[in-house]
Structure 1
Amino acid sequence: MVEHVTERAAGRTGRAPRRTNVRWLIAGLLGTGLIIAFVDRANLSVAMPTISEEFGISPAMQGVVLGAWTWTYAAFQLPAGWLTDKLGPRVVYASAVVWWSLCTAAVALARGTVSLFGLRLLLGIGEAPVMPSSAKVVSEWFPRKERALASGLYGAGSEAGAAIAVPLASLLLVAFNWHGVFLATGALGLLWAGVWLWIYQTPRKQRWTSSAEADYIAEDDDSADRADGVDGADRAGEPAERDTSIPWLRLFRYRTLWGLFSGYVCRNFLNYFFITWYPTYLVQSQGFSAMDLAKYGAIPGVVAIFGNFAGGWFSDFLVRRGVSMNLARKIPIVVGTLGSGTVAFAVFAPNAAVALTLLSVSFASSSFASAAIFSLPIDVAPGGGNVSSIFAIQNTGSQIGGLLSPVVIGFLVTLTGSFVAPLLAMGVLCLIGAAVYGLVIKVRPLDADDRPSTPADAVS
């Protein structure tokens, strides 16, 4: 085991080692990784008008290409979650980032629709371990009372990535060409992977982490356990208990996991609008130029970052005040998901400023729910051995919504010639998602009482 610097200092002074805060550095590193992931997902949406003109891609086919990475991302979620639980996030996450960064840079070599489509499929495979690995890291590095805020911190990387991608890719497009967009953004991921391998270890092995911080991380929030009717010893008392797991296939027998899956299908239909069709909507429906995108396109993403932090802080605040984990997670999720339905009112916006304001409120509301949603797989897992797998099941639903979103929106835009129908559809799906999170999911460790008696009960 690595000897900690603070322990050596404590030995010389006779004082107890101080508690370091390396866990927040780890959360920040996760957030940076997610920023890069979202930049690499969204960069094509900015370059698409130029690429589509060069390659002669129709609007309907643009939607297929924009969403292509979600197909493989969704298909590889379950294997990625299983692999992360088996091998750990250090190696899995670094390998994934190297893979997708090379695929991003290779888009600069694309010579037509087929090669562009193929590279985006490969991008999705590389990005599949991002969220399961992040959840695993949070479960290892944070006590329950800090997990929503930690999840909000790294989760804000999605909004920050979406916000940064539009102006960054637009500026690169103006300064160079669309090839330069992908070469530059691909290089960012390779740099991050090196930093990750240099810094990341589990708390007991990380060289900058004091034993006081490692002990603090290992402590369970007994008040939260008592509020949920769970014995704290069953959650984190002994290392063996923390490794408790349910056989992988048996996870699909739980009603709560079907709720995590289906709720995210509805919710992410909206989120993927912001990383696929959002720039095109601003150009075609609101008359934005490329420079307008660079100036104002990031506004919803920037506002959403604060929504993410607020939702995570609020959920953990409720936990610290003794509110049951079930309510502490559900309140920000339901409120945020309902609020994200304001996207539908953009249909009636009289000008671009009002439309951008409504989209900002919608994205920020969705983000307000994100931190608590990211915490759910950790909260419902019976032990550390299932965290990544459960998150992967949840994120598979997320990516099915993400897969459908660009294709359905592209079809509706082609059919109707406007974004009215897609905006209304997103609003309705947000309402359905709020109902699923509020009524189907039970936020407590999976046990026999939560297991449906028949397969039909799983989706009831």
Structure 2
Amino acid sequence: MSEQTTEVRTDTPDRPVRRTGVRWLIAGLLATGLIIAFIDRANLSVAMPTISEQFGISPALQGVLLGAWAWTYALFQLPAGWLSDKLGPRTVYAVAVVWWSLCTAGVALVRGVGSLLGLRLLLGIGEAPVMPSSAKAVSEWFPKKERALASGLYGSGSEAGAAIAVPLVALIIVAFGWRGAFVATGALGLVWAAAWLWIYQTPRKQRWTSQAEVDYIVDGGGLDTEPTGQDRSLPWAHLFRHGTVWGLFSGYICRNFLNYFFITWYPTYLVQAQGFSTMDLAKYGAIPGIVAIFGNFAGGWFSDYLVRRGTSLSRARKLPIIIGTLGSGTVAFAIFAPSAVIALVFLSISFASSSFASAGILSLPIDVSPGAGNVSSIYAIQNTGSQIGGLLSPIVVGFLVAVTGSFVAPLVAMGVLCLGAAAIYAFVVKVEPLGIRNRPATAADAAL
């Protein structure tokens, strides 16, 4: 990222006088935090074959243990968002990472299923603030024309974490055993939390940030967290009165139904429907996920490019979201694929298209928030929809496969839901601060 070097006058001589790029360091920290979160979610799946043999855990109970974190993660989204708005991402994110890292390391001490289940449930509670706090940090550190790329950068941590987790945890298990793997992955989070507390402050308070960068962020629409007496944040319960909030919630249910297919049933689909061997999975199975990482960056860059060109914020956000959600519907075309290679191409296009929409979707809670005090709460509502879609996806896909004996019905269902997501973002979500139609227009409103 090239940075402007215009010199400015400042009343704080200890600050640099050139526009710094500390905001991109913050985005990198957010991406790293999400990578660690995904490693700590996935480490049990890598260690499960060894753990299940040692403790005699049945396949059914293994499934319960592997998914346990997701239930508390979804349940605690709304409280986590509220806390992040009240206390700020610096405190909430740091406490959350320390919490879940200790829970991760604590798995090394388990002696049975009960303690393992309890720690995985606690892990989900600890990870609940990750996404709401990340959105809050982006709202504080980035102007409107860079929010989507910043969101795409930290959002790519999910795909990167999922890709890194398996080989990393497997290598640690080989070297130090499965208990050592949980200690090591837990330690990663503690190191990150220390770095976060050392580096993160709001732009005005961060010691490395020049006044030029602070002005660039605030003048560009960054949500200034300094008290001005003009904060227009809504009471928490009032957020649910707005159709846009329900659109963010329901749109993410539809969109994430597809994403969780790739996390859960995708390998089984390749084996059962496309005849992949285990070696085929090892060689080619990661292709859609790798392509999806680039989709994340492309969607964020495209949305911000439109903003810089003077396109309205609504169109700049909605266009990549609609293109991406429509494109993700190509998952249904795999039904007609004449070969496994063509099926993998359709799946890769689908997953990459879904990721192309991600940056814009992650930016929406900031764009529609009426004030700095609502960003994390709105994101938490949106992410609750994401988790509902994620929880329903493996259940519904499994039911349809059991009933029909094939993956045709699940692929069609996912394609239809992707079209539904596009319609919701196009016609239900309004990219403007909530309540703007019910209060006098201001210069700030006009800029949106």
Q: CA deviation at 1:415?
A: 5.3
Structure 1 range deviating more: 312-321 or 173-182? 173-182
Give the equivalent residue in structure 1 for 2:96.
Answer: 96
1:321 equivalent to 2:309? Answer: yes
Give the equivalent residue in structure 1 for 2:445.
Answer: none
Give the equivalent residue in structure 1 for 2:196.
Answer: 196
Q: Which amino acid aligns with 2:384?
A: T
Secondary structure of the equivalent of 1:70?
helix
Give the equivalent residue in structure 2 for 1:424.
Answer: 412
Residues 230-286 of structure 1 show CA distances to partners (whole Å, capped at 9, x for unaligned) of xx9xx8799526632101111110010000001011111122233334455556665
Calculate the TM-score normalised by the size of structure 2.
Answer: 0.85
Residues 178-235 of structure 1 show CA distances to partners (whole Å, capped at 9, x for unaligned) of 54543332222122111111111111111111111111111135xxxxxxxxxx9xx8
Structure 1 range deviating more: 46-55 or 116-125? 46-55
Q: Which amino acid aligns with 1:78?
A: L
CA distance in 1, matches of 2:46, 2:336: 25
Residues 392-426 of structure 1 show CA distances to partners (whole Å, capped at 9, x for unaligned) of 11111111112222333444455566555443332
Structure 1 range deviating more: 295-304 or 324-333? 295-304
Q: CA deviation at 1:163?
A: 2.1
On the 8 A contact 1:333/1:369 being kept in 2, the answer is yes
Q: Which amino acid aligns with 1:214?
A: V
Give the equivalent residue in structure 2 for 1:118.
Answer: 118
Q: CA deviation at 1:51?
A: 5.0
Structure 1 range deviating more: 67-76 or 371-380? 67-76
1:182-221 alignment to 2 at 5 Å? 182-220=182-220
CA distance in 2, matches of 1:8, 1:266: 47
On the 8 A contact 2:202/2:225 being kept in 1, the answer is no
CA distance in 2, matches of 1:369, 1:423: 19
On the 8 A contact 2:8/2:18 being kept in 1, the answer is no
Inter-CA distance 36–197: structure 2 relative to 1 (3 Å threshold): same
CA distance in 1, matches of 2:363, 2:106: 34
Q: CA deviation at 1:381?
A: 0.6
CA distance in 2, matches of 1:201, 1:183: 29
CA distance in 1, matches of 2:53, 2:271: 15
What's the % identity of the aligned pairs?
A: 76
Give the equivalent residue in structure 2 for 1:224.
Answer: none
1:50-89 alignment to 2 at 5 Å? 55-58=56-59, 62-89=62-89
Q: Which amino acid aligns with 2:311?
A: V
Inter-CA distance 259–278: structure 2 relative to 1 (3 Å threshold): same
1:436 equivalent to 2:424? Answer: yes
On the 8 A contact 1:62/1:410 being kept in 2, the answer is no
Give the equivalent residue in structure 2 for 1:129.
Answer: 129
1:310 equivalent to 2:298? Answer: yes
Structure 1 range deviating more: 316-325 or 279-288? 279-288
Inter-CA distance 242–308: structure 2 relative to 1 (3 Å threshold): farther
Inter-CA distance 114–410: structure 2 relative to 1 (3 Å threshold): farther
Structure 1 range deviating more: 374-383 or 317-326? 317-326
Q: Which amino acid aligns with 2:90?
A: R
Inter-CA distance 359–117: structure 2 relative to 1 (3 Å threshold): farther
Give the equivalent residue in structure 2 for 1:336.
Answer: 324
Give the equivalent residue in structure 2 for 1:3.
Answer: none
Q: CA deviation at 1:42?
A: 2.9
Give the equivalent residue in structure 2 for 1:145.
Answer: 145
Q: Which amino acid aligns with 1:310?
A: A
Q: Which amino acid aligns with 1:260?
A: L
Q: Which runs of 5+ in 1 are unaligned?
A: 1-5, 222-231, 452-460
On the 8 A contact 2:16/2:210 being kept in 1, the answer is no
Q: CA deviation at 1:88?
A: 0.7
Inter-CA distance 16–100: structure 2 relative to 1 (3 Å threshold): closer
Q: CA RMSD in A?
A: 3.3
Give the equivalent residue in structure 2 for 1:161.
Answer: 161
CA distance in 1, matches of 2:399, 2:217: 48
CA distance in 1, matches of 2:324, 2:116: 35
On the 8 A contact 1:162/1:274 being kept in 2, the answer is no
On the 8 A contact 1:57/1:113 being kept in 2, the answer is no
Q: Which runs of 5+ in 2 are unaligned?
A: 1-5, 440-448
Q: CA deviation at 1:132?
A: 0.7
On the 8 A contact 1:44/1:66 being kept in 2, the answer is yes
1:28 equivalent to 2:28? Answer: yes
Q: CA deviation at 1:147?
A: 0.8
Structure 1 range deviating more: 380-389 or 48-57? 48-57
Inter-CA distance 185–283: structure 2 relative to 1 (3 Å threshold): farther
Structure 1 range deviating more: 424-433 or 169-178? 169-178
CA distance in 2, matches of 1:20, 1:370: 27
Q: CA deviation at 1:355?
A: 3.9
Structure 1 range deviating more: 427-436 or 143-152? 427-436
On the 8 A contact 1:64/1:407 being kept in 2, the answer is no
Residues 30-52 of structure 1 show CA distances to partners (whole Å, capped at 9, x for unaligned) of 01111111222233344455655
The count of corresponding residues between Structure 1 and Structure 2 is 431
CA distance in 1, matches of 2:110, 2:277: 27
Q: CA deviation at 1:70?
A: 1.8
Give the equivalent residue in structure 2 for 1:394.
Answer: 382
CA distance in 1, matches of 2:197, 2:265: 34
Inter-CA distance 336–27: structure 2 relative to 1 (3 Å threshold): same
1:376-391 alignment to 2 at 5 Å? 376-391=364-379
Secondary structure of the equivalent of 1:260?
helix
On the 8 A contact 1:136/1:388 being kept in 2, the answer is yes
Q: CA deviation at 1:98?
A: 1.4
Which of 1 and 2 has higher RCO (CA within 8 Å, sep 6+)? 1
Calculate the TM-score normalised by the size of structure 1.
Answer: 0.83
Q: CA deviation at 1:350?
A: 5.2
Picking from 259, 266, 269, the partner of 1:271 is 259
CA distance in 1, matches of 2:103, 2:361: 29
Give the equivalent residue in structure 1 for 2:435.
Answer: 447
Secondary structure of the equivalent of 1:274?
helix
Residues 349-371 of structure 1 show CA distances to partners (whole Å, capped at 9, x for unaligned) of 55554444333222211110011
CA distance in 2, matches of 1:242, 1:12: 25
Residues 142-192 of structure 1 show CA distances to partners (whole Å, capped at 9, x for unaligned) of 111111111111111112112222333444456665545433322221221
